[in-house]
Amino acid sequence: MNPSTKISAYIMTFNEADKIEDAIKSVLWADEIIVADSNSTDGTIEIAEQLGATVVQIPFKTFGQIRNDAIAACTHDWILSLDADERCTSESEKEIKATVQNPQADAYYIPRRNWFMGRWIKHCGWYPDYRQPQLFKKGALTFDSASEVHETHTVHGKIAYLKEDIWQIPFMNLEQVVHKMQRYSSLGAKKLQREGKKTSIFLALLHGIWAFIRIYFLKLGFLDGWAGFVLALSNFEGTFYRYAKTMQYDDKPNL
């Protein structure tokens, strides 16, 4: 095989034992699989190694830093980024292989189709759900290492879009919805604090209400039924707590 067409797939993990097996199996066709783990304790590491992945331990500071370190651990010219809750389909595999054989760009967005509460989510801004370029030449994509969450990225070169979906199963149950909301709102609050953003309970509530309206009404989440309402509500909660927690961090007594 031409070395310039070899693909490294990296997957970021932290206690993803219920998801990592399916994620790795969906990219066993890749020339290299890197699991960028942040000291999981639930068996994620053992499962990944049993499936032939190379596990690299990267202590968590920010998502931007984790992604940069994971990219640095990849050894091939092309890199596929996959989260533990994502699955590369056979159609996407074929398109990716064909793309690196005759590339027309340096970085590619890949559409994601989300499964939640027993149905494919077609609205809520979740389809096509472009996260960030997920197929790219090494050196073509860098992240802001200071970005705690929803990491800022820079593409060095031409951008294009692939057509075939990968699947995402973001939540196995509602407990995971709440857990992710709590974690991401805390990281988001630290980001707001780092950027010097000031807020209030009124602004926290206003941002939360707008998040619900945007997802449920403007992005037609109501057409996704009960699942759409839950997603809109979780966006309200996550946004509200992101701003409320920023106040919590700022409101400390002087010792």
Domain chopping of the chain, boundaries: 3-168, 174-250
Cis peptide before 253 (omega within 30 of 0): no
The CATH number corresponding to 3-168 among 3.10.20.600, 3.90.550.10, 3.40.50.300, 1.10.600.10 equals 3.90.550.10
- Which helix (H) or strand (E) segment is 249 a member of? helix 225-250
> What distance in Å separates the CA atoms of residue 163 and residue 62, rounded to the nearest whole number?
30
Comparing CA positions, the residue from 131, 173, 167, 133 lying closest to residue 22 is 167
What is the chain's pLDDT, residue by residue, as a tens digit (255 residues)?
577 899 999 999 999 999 999 999 999 999 999 999 999 999 999 999 999 999 999 999 999 999 999 999 999 999 999 999 999 999 999 999 999 999 999 999 999 999 999 999 999 999 999 989 999 999 999 999 988 888 899 999 999 999 999 999 999 899 999 999 999 999 999 999 888 888 899 999 999 999 999 999 999 999 999 999 999 999 999 999 999 999 875 555 444
Give the strand pairing for 153-155 and 141-143: antiparallel
> What distance in Å separates the CA atoms of residue 16 and residue 84, rounded to the nearest whole number?
7
> What distance in Å separates the CA atoms of residue 164 and residue 159, rounded to the nearest whole number?
16
